C-alpha cells in the first residue's frame, strides 16, 4: 500500500465517522450503541446515507480517472459519455408517469436509461475504437437525452410532478435508506471491477493507439469494457442519488500530482478520493446554516464549475 493510498484510507475513515455523527442533530460517540435510543438515527438514517456517499463518490471518481486515461484528455468527465444524462432521463420517465411510487422502479428506469445509452454509444462508435467518434457519439447522446428531459419537465401533468423531477435532478442523498444501498452496491462493485481491468491497457494507450495495438491491446474490446463499467457505475450512482457532477473531473486532478502520470496509478486513489470528497461534501451540506438542506448536486456544481474554469485557464497558459 502506497503512502497516498494509506492517507486516503485514513481520510476515508475520518470522513465516514464525521458523516455518521454530523447533522442538524449531532449524535455523540457514546450514543452509537444499541442501548441508546438515539442509535436508531445512526442505523436507519446516517449509516445508509454514509455508505451511499462512499459508493457513489468512489464510483464517480474511478469512472472519471478511467475516462481521462482512455480519452487521454484531462478534462474528461463521466457526463461526457451521455450515460449520466441517459440514466437521468430514465428516472425522469418513471417520475413523469408516477412509477416512482414503487420502490425499485425509479432505479430500474434509471439503469435502463443508462443501459440504452450505453448500447447506442457502442452501436454508433462501432468496433473501430476511434476516440474522436466515441467522444462525438457521447456528446450527441448527452444533447438528445438532455433535451428529452427538458421536454418531460415542460409537459409534466401536474406542478407536483414537475417539482419532483426538478428536485430529483438536483442530486442529493437526503432520506436514502438501506434499500438504496442494496440497489447501488452490487452494480457499482461489478462496474468498478470492470474498470479496474483496464489499467494495463490505459497505460499502453499513453504510447499511442498503434503502440498499444502492438502490445496486445484490443481497442474495440477496451471500448466495450469502458462503456459497460462506466454505465454500471454512473447509472447506479444516478439511480440512487440523482445527478452529482464534477467528482470524476476534480478527484483525478487532485491525486495525480501525488500518484504519478500513469493512468493505472491513479485509479485506486481516485476511487478513494471520490469517496472522501462526496462524503465530506454531504456532511457539510447537512451542517450548512440553511432553512432546508442544500442539495448535494448544487454544492458540487458550485465547487466544480470554478475548478473546471481554473483547469481551462491553466491549460490555455500552457499552450500560449
Distance, in Å, from the CA atom of 3 to the CA atom of 296, rounded to the nearest integer, reads: 30
Q: Are 235 and 83 in contact (CB under 8 A)?
A: yes
289 against 273, higher pLDDT: 273
Instruction: Work out the number of other CB atoms within 10 angstroms of the CB of residue 241.
Output: 28
Q: Give the confidence band of 129 by pLDDT, cuts at 50, 70, 90.
A: low
**93-97, 101-105, 115-119, 150-154: which has the minimum mean pLDDT?**
101-105
DSSP conformation letters of 141-206: HHHHHHHHHHHHHHT-SSHHHHHHHHHHHT---TT--HHHHHHHHHHHHHHHHHHHTTHHHHHHHT
Q: Average of pLDDT values for 215-226?
A: 86
Instruction: Work out the number of other CB atoms within 10 angstroms of the CB of residue 292.
Output: 7
Positive or negative, the Cα torsion across 149, 152, 153, 159?
negative
Distance, in Å, from the CA atom of 52 to the CA atom of 44, rounded to the nearest integer, reads: 13
pLDDT above 90 for 208: no
Per the listing, cell 470554478 goes with 306
Share of the chain above pLDDT 90, in %: 28
126: left (phi over 0), alpha (psi -120 to 50) or beta: left
Q: Would you state the pLDDT for residue 168? A: 82
130: left (phi over 0), alpha (psi -120 to 50) or beta: beta
Share of the chain above pLDDT 70, in %: 92
pLDDT tens, residue by residue, 76-100: 788 777 788 888 898 888 888 877 6
Radius of gyration of the chain (CA): 20
Q: Give the confidence band of 128 by pLDDT, cuts at 50, 70, 90.
A: low
Distance, in Å, from the CA atom of 38 to the CA atom of 25, rounded to the nearest integer, reads: 10
Q: φ and ψ at 188, to 5 degrees? A: -70, -40
pLDDT above 80 for 317: no
Q: Give the confidence band of 240 by pLDDT, cuts at 50, 70, 90.
A: confident
Q: What is the pTM of this model?
A: 0.89
Give 126's DSSP letter.
Answer: T
Mean pLDDT of the chain: 85
Give 44's DSSP letter.
Answer: I
Q: Would you state the pLDDT for residue 269? A: 95
pLDDT above 70 for 221: yes
Q: Residue 216 half-sphere exposure, CB side, CA atoms within 13 Å?
A: 2
pLDDT above 80 for 103: no
Amino acid at each position: 500500500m502506497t503512502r497516498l493510498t494509506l492517507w486516503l484510507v485514513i481520510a476515508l475513515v475520518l470522513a465516514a465517522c464525521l458523516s455518521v455523527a454530523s447533522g442538524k442533530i449531532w449524535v455523540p460517540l457514546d450514543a452509537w450503541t444499541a442501548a441508546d435510543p438515539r442509535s436508531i438515527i445512526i442505523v436507519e438514517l446516517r449509516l445508509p446515507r454514509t455508505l451511499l456517499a462512499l459508493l457513489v463518490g468512489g464510483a464517480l471518481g474511478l469512472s472519471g480517472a478511467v475516462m481521462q486515461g482512455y480519452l487521454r484528455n484531462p478534462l474528461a468527465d463521466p457526463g461526457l459519455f451521455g450515460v449520466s444524462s441517459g440514466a437521468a432521463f430514465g428516472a425522469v420517465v418513471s417520475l413523469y408517469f408516477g412509477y416512482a411510487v414503487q420502490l425499485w422502479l425509479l432505479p430500474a428506469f434509471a439503469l435502463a436509461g443508462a443501459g440504452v445509452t450505453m448500447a447506442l454509444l457502442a452501436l454508433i462508435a462501432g468496433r473501430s475504437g476511434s476516440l474522436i467518434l466515441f467522444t462525438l457519439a457521447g456528446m450527441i447522446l448527452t444533447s438528445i437525452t438532455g433535451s428529452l428531459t427538458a421536454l418531460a419537465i415542460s409537459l409534466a401533468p401536474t406542478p407536483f410532478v414537475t417539482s419532483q423531477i426538478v428536485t430529483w435532478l438536483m442530486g442529493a442523498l437526503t432520506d436514502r435508506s438501506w434499500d438504496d444501498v442494496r440497489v447501488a452496491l452490487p452494480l457499482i462493485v461489478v462496474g468498478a471491477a470492470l474498470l479496474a481491468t483496464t489499467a494495463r491497457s490505459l497505460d499502453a494507450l499513453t504510447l499511442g493507439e498503434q503502440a498499444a495495438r502492438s502490445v496486445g491491446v484490443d481497442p474495440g474490446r477496451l471500448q466495450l469494457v469502458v462503456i459497460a463499467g462506466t454505465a454500471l457505475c454512473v447509472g447506479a450512482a444516478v439511480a440512487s442519488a440523482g445527478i452529482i457532477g464534477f467528482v470524476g473531473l476534480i478527484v483525478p486532478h487532485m491525486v495525480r500530482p501525488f500518484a504519478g502520470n500513469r493512468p493505472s496509478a491513479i485509479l485506486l486513489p481516485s476511487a478513494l478520493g471520490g469517496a472522501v470528497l462526496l462524503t465530506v461534501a454531504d456532511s457539510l451540506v447537512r451542517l450548512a446554516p440553511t432553512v432546508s438542506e442544500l442539495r448535494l448536486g448544487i454544492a458540487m456544481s458550485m465547487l466544480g464549475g470554478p475548478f473546471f474554469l481554473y483547469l481551462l485557464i491553466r491549460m490555455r497558459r500552457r499552450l500560449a
